A and B are shown apart, each in its own frame.
Chain A
Amino acid sequence: MKSAPILQLKGLTKRFGRVAALRRLDLEIHAGEFVALFGPNGAGKSTLLKVAATLLGPDEGKSVFQGGAPMRSAIGYVSHQSLLYGNLSGLENLLFYARLYGLPDPPAQARSMLDRMGLKQAGGQLVRGYSRGMKQRLTLARALLHDPVLLLLDEPYTGLDQHGGRLLTETLSLLKSQGRTVFLVTHNAREGLQLCSRVLIQNAGRIVFDAPREEVSDDDFESIYFQKIEETRPRRKSRGKRAARAGG
């Protein structure tokens, strides 16, 4: 039996001008789930994550975290950007966030996190001198520093080389084995499927596929993905139909 949902998104609609990025989207995420969300560009995945993180307010619907508990300090958020300061060292960045979250013994926590992410040696270097992979690992360290209840990851594999990607997968696998609740948005089907316990596909602002990982084999995923995208592709009304309707 599933536990009570950590995050409930109910009837979310978010518009940017005339474009609806989310359309009455419903989703529940339960404790210990590792959810991977796939979808084409423009499907509204990043918007969904921002609304889930409360960084964007929905136009309609609501987001309920742990039955109404304060959410912001209980989530770890990794976006397309690092949320780090280039002119501070890796250690100083983590110290800043550790102090901001009021963690006990910030220097020890920051050093321990650097160590976990394999950045102990680079901790004193300014972040602007980090490689993309190092920066991404530090970003993940920042997001995990306060031991969040829910981790929201938006395309964490973007720009990583093979080595960086492998390190990230190892870190995420560790989080999964620890029973962390993770919501991962990715284009990287191989890594996403390897890690997740639940597969979601989003298109045109809606979740169009939702299944446990066991029900989706690696071989079938691609055909399911393209079938769902094709089925739910927004179609323009043809001129003939419009003309027929106009004519009654």
Chain B
Amino acid sequence: MSILKSLWILAAKDLRIEYRSREAFQTTLFFAVLILIIFQFAFDPGSKATLEASPGILWVALLFPGMIRLNQSFQMEIEEDSLHGIVLSPVDRGAFFLGKFLANWVFLALVGLASTVAFVVFYNFAPSARLWWLLVVELMGLAGFSAVGTVLAAMVAKSSSREVLLPILIFPIVIPVIVAAVNASQEILLRDDLNTLGTWMQVLGVFDVVYLAAGFVVFEYVVGD
């Protein structure tokens, strides 16, 4: 069976389970909106400092709630030990990783889309064509985050302190993605020209490819014995 077909079977299963309960989606989105509201209240809404910090606030609202999803993505495999069901099947471990990654990415992208709408409203950004670029940057940033998060969530899935372990492990590794995503978002939201946007998107693209390739290779050992 081709890797593409396998990854689609695995991702479709995850998304179907999530669609059925919607538990993680609602919790993650609520957490994201809550972060946006808290920062809105914490800073002076009209100040320049708040405006400058807003791209960073957006990424805090996208990434920290994303932990909920990443943790839950492997809990469904641990609950009834269905991880062993997949491991015993002839599916390539790399396809297993890509399937999980795809489901996590789609999930985080949907939460990101809803959070961005809330962000634009709360922080008084005028709707413009530039916001499409913001969505592209979000998709790229969340891809790198999901790739690393999928591998690490599998590693800590059986640990009782996984909720603490996952953020501690993930954020140091995805720092390049966060820096590039925040800078690209800053350029889109706050600058008149988009001179360095291409550079930041290239950085995001390179790290996405590196993280995905690394995840594809190491996942065999992560879900092995």
* 22 A-B contact pairs sorted by A residue (CB < 8 Å): A55-B87, A57-B225, A70-B90, A72-B87, A73-B90, A79-B81, A79-B84, A83-B80, A83-B82, A83-B84, A84-B82, A85-B76, A85-B82, A86-B80, A87-B20, A87-B21, A88-B17, A92-B16, A97-B85, A100-B89, A100-B90, A142-B85
The residues of A that contact B90 with a CB separation of less than 8 Å are 70, 72-73, 100-102
Q: Which of A56, A77, A79, A96 is B9 in contact with, Cβ under 8 Å?
A: A96
Given contacts A72-B87, A97-B89, A100-B86, 10 further A-B contacts (CB under 8 A): A55-B88, A56-B225, A73-B90, A83-B80, A83-B84, A85-B13, A86-B80, A87-B76, A101-B90, A126-B20
Judged by a CB distance under 8 angstroms, whether A53 is at the interface is yes
B79 in contact (CB, < 8 A): yes
Expressed in whole angstroms, the Cα–Cα distance for A77 and B79 within the complex equals 17
Q: Is there a chain A Cβ closer than 8 Å to B150's Cβ?
A: no
Residue from the list B9, B80, B84 in contact with A55, Cβ < 8 A: B84
Chain B contact residues, majority secondary structure: helix
Q: Give the CA-CA distance A81 to B81 in the complex, in Å.
A: 6
Nearest chain A CB to B88's CB is how many angstroms away? 5
Question: Do A73 and B89 have beta carbons less than 8 Å apart?
Answer: yes
> For residue B88, which residues in chain A have a CB less than 8 angstroms away from its CB?
53-55, 72-73, 75, 77
Contact B6 A83 (CB under 8 A): no
> Top 9 nearest A-B pairs by Cβ distance?
A83-B85, A81-B81, A73-B90, A102-B1, A57-B225, A100-B89, A87-B17, A99-B9, A82-B80
The reply on B37 being an interface residue by CB < 8 A is no
A88 interface neighbour in B10, B13, B91, Cβ under 8 Å: B13
Within A48-68, the residues touching B (CB, 8 Å) are 53-57
User: Bound complex: CA of A82 vs CA of B17, how far in Å?
Assistant: 17
1/0 per residue B61-77: CB within 8 Å of A? 00000000000000010
* Cross-chain contact A72 with B89 (CB below 8 angstroms): yes
Q: Assuming the A-B contacts A57-B225, A99-B9, A102-B1, are A83 and B17 also in contact, with contact meaning beta carbons closer than 8 angstroms in the complex?
A: no
* Residues B91 and A85 in contact, CB atoms below 8 Å apart: no
Given contacts A88-B16, A99-B9, contact A83 B89 (CB under 8 A): no
Count chain B CB atoms within 10 A of each CB in A85, A101, A126 and give the residue with the most: A85
Instruction: Name the residue of chain B whose CB is nearest to the CB of A100.
Output: B89
| Chain B neighbourhood of A86, CB < 8 A | 79-80
- Bound-state CA distance A100–B6 (Å) is 7
Q: Are B89 and A101 in contact (CB-based, < 8 A)?
A: yes
How many residues from B make CB contacts under 8 Å with A? 23
Name the B residues within 8 Å of A54 (CB-CB).
Answer: 88
- Chain A interface residue bracket vs B: 20 to 34
A100 touching B87, Cβ below 8 Å: no
**Please, how many angstroms separate the alpha-carbon atoms of A126 and B13 in the complex?**
14
CB neighbours of B79 from chain A (8 A): 86
Return B186 CB to nearest CB of chain A, in Å: 40
Decide yes or no: A85 and B17 within 8 Å by CB, A79-B81, A97-B89 being known contacts. Answer: yes
Set of chain B residues within 8 Å of A72, measured between Cβ atoms:
87-90
Residues of chain B with a CB closer than 8 A to A85's CB: 13, 17, 76, 80, 82
How far does the alpha carbon of A244 sit from the alpha carbon of B197 in the complex, in Å?
Answer: 81
Complex: chain A residue closest to B8, CB-CB: A99
Separation of A133 and B81 alpha carbons in the complex (Å): 18
- Bits for A114-151, please: 1 = Cβ < 8 Å to B, else 0: 00000000000010000000000000001000000000
In the complex, chain B residues 10-69 whose Cβ is within 8 Å of any chain A Cβ: 10, 13, 16-17, 20-21
- Residues B157-184 near A (CB distance < 8 A): none
**Which among B16, B21, B85 has the highest number of chain A CB atoms within 10 Å?**
B85
Q: Which residue of B lies closest to A99 (CB)?
A: B9
Q: B21 contacts which chain A residues (CB < 8 A)?
A: 87
What are the residues of chain B within 8 A of A77 when measuring CB–CB? 84, 88
Q: Which residues of A contact B9 (CB under 8 A)?
A: 96, 99-100
Inside 8 A of A79's CB, which chain B residues have their CB? 81, 84
B82 cross-chain contacts in A, Cβ below 8 A: 82-85
